[in-house]
């Protein structure tokens, strides 16, 4: 069974802190990794994609990928209350095929 | 870029009737679209993969005769919930692949279906 695992949370951080969200996946052959943000009652919004080992930065967001450890993370710097949402890790476990396997999501709460 | 729309955003229907939901990619061509369902406080569940010009591929446990999918053009896929029942009430979300963006999936805003 191909799986994507996330801690459900909630992860609580104060405003201005760094939030660290983690995800592990079971299929060593996975090629593409995505982080989505989902506000309550809304659909997921793509915020980061990463395809090779290392870090990828986009504004306050940094995605980190370690294929050897089958681990992908998302760091949010200078967290804001508006970042409070559920963050979904998604993995494309078949190169060239489009289906994503989603984790159950981690709820992030940023307190003012 | 990579905008996906859905219509309607919210629909209430009576038990036994059918409801059609449209999913459109507004600024790109999508040869592949996906339909998901999400119950309150639960994770996304993939229902089916919709490929332009061919039959949809349904996930295990999803009734293809109940959830009819048509992907007649590169920008439009439709999901029809036939003979809806209260247990079909859910948040239905489509997504589309933008092949110009390394297979990133972009989601529509979702359709909240309530069957009374």
pLDDT of residue A23: 97
- Tell me which residues of chain A, numbers 38 to 97, contact chain B at a CB-CB cutoff of 8 Å: 41-46, 49, 51, 88, 90, 92
Backbone phi, psi, residue B48, to 5° = -165, 155
Q: Which of B34, B46, B102 faces A49 most closely, judged by CB atoms?
A: B102
Cβ <8 Å between A43 and B109: yes
Q: Which of A41, A45, A92 faces B103 most closely, judged by CB atoms?
A: A92
pLDDT of residue A95: 57
DSSP state for residue A26 in the 8-state scheme: S
Task: Round to whole Å and give the CA distance between B100 and B58.
Answer: 25
pLDDT of residue B101: 66
Task: Round to whole Å and give the CA distance between B108 and B95.
Answer: 6
Long-range contacts of B80-85 (CB under 8 A, 24+ apart): B80/B18, B80/B19, B80/B20, B80/B21, B81/B18, B81/B19, B81/B20, B81/B21, B81/B113, B82/B18, B83/B16, B83/B17, B83/B18, B84/B13, B84/B15, B84/B16, B84/B17, B84/B18, B84/B19, B84/B113, B84/B115, B85/B15, B85/B16, B85/B115
pLDDT of residue B74: 87
CA B107 to chain centre: 10
Task: Round to whole Å and give the CA distance between A54 and B31.
Answer: 31
B33: its two tokens: 């679209």
DSSP state for residue B86 in the 8-state scheme: G
Task: Grade residue B20 by pLDDT with cuts at 50, 70 and 90.
Answer: very high
Task: Grade residue B84 by pLDDT with cuts at 50, 70 and 90.
Answer: very high
B34: its two tokens: 């996906």
Chain mean pLDDT for chain B: 92
Cβ <8 Å between B105 and A49: no
pLDDT above 70 coverage of chain B, percent: 97
pLDDT of residue B1: 63
Task: Round to whole Å and give the CA distance between B33 and B26.
Answer: 13
Task: Grade residue A103 by pLDDT with cuts at 50, 70 and 90.
Answer: very high
Residue B2: closest CA among B86, B90, B108: B108
Residue A21 Cα distances to A4, A11, A71, B56, B65, angstroms: 13, 8, 11, 34, 39
Q: Is A6 on the interface with B (CB under 8 A)?
A: no
Overall average pLDDT of the A35-57 stretch? 95
């Amino acid at each position: 069974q191909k799986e994507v695992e996330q801690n459900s949370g909630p992860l609580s951080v104060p405003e201005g802190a760094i939030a660290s969200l983690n995800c592990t996946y079971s299929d060593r052959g996975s090629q593409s990794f995505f982080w989505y943000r989902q506000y309550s009652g809304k659909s997921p919004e793509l915020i980061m994609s990463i395809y090779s080992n290392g870090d990828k930065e986009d504004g306050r967001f940094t995605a980190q990928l370690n294929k050897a450890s089958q681990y992908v993370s998302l760091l949010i710097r200078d967290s804001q209350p508006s970042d409070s949402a559920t963050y979904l890790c998604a993995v494309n476990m078949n190169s060239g095929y489009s289906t994503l396997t989603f984790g159950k999501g981690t709820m992030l709460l940023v307190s003012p | 870029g990579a905008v996906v729309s859905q219509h309607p955003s919210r629909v209430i229907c009576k038990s036994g009737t059918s409801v059609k939901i449209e999913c459109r990619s507004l600024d790109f061509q999508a040869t592949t679209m996906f339909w998901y369902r999400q119950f309150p406080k639960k994770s996304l569940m993939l229902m089916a993969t919709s490929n332009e010009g061919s039959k949809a591929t349904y996930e295990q446990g999803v009734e293809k005769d109940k959830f009819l999918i048509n992907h007649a053009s590169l920008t439009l896929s439709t999901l029809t919930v036939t003979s809806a029942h209260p247990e079909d009430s859910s948040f239905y979300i489509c997504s589309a692949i933008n092949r110009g963006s390394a297979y990133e999936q972009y989601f529509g805003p979702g359709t909240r279906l309530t069957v009374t």
